[in-house]
Structure 1
């Protein structure tokens, strides 16, 4: 009986979230290590920002926080989508906030709002594990169209904006 209970606990479904081990080919730092895994363990990457066009993150986070699933953070061992993924860390509780970032042609730097409140872009970049220029290029580099990003912040800690 105890063995069956342990097996049920172990079979909790995983929500997979993959971090980039290196900067993508579309970034000026392509191929250079992002150190996201190191920063995650050191508490210097406390969240990740994701697009959410299909509106799936709210349900995923609800399932994780209800104890039905776990968040499994992974990174690619080589080229994204053409290599194995390695587990970095698992979370049984995460946070979720809405984010909008705009970068108009007259703006010196992007403007950001989290749950409708303004947040300094420098703070977002730092907490996401990136230097500000890299953060800006990540979200508004040459391969991106438009000057508005809308998505979700998935928090790995209790911190909220």
Structure 2
């Protein structure tokens, strides 16, 4: 089984939930040493708790020549685990990157993005590393296709904005 050093948050944030699901999926085929970002690990089940504890224990004897995958912000990619190939998986909603972000992204050997839009944004901003589009999925154990058709009673839609006002949300 191949080794992977995984450097990511495991918590209730967007990054943490995504990292948790990616970690669970990768652990089926890889020997993972988990290096959590942040001071806590949030688990939804006893099964998750046992898995993350095992992966956390693996970090005591991690393979320093194994690849490192960091799932984290594009402006904070300077730190990594080991000296193997360095992969990053940042998520962003902006179309203009700062010089710091470009520098941190170009430090990686390979970059995963969730969409072709993300790949284009990185390329348009001068990121010159290999960029791999890796769309995220839906956990069908949580979300189910409705058994009935959704009927629209009005021809117009009402959109609600739920979030905070900030630049990265294009507000």
TM-score (norm 1): 0.29
TM-score (norm 2): 0.28
RCO greater where, 1 or 2, for CA within 8 Å and sep 6 or more?
A: 1
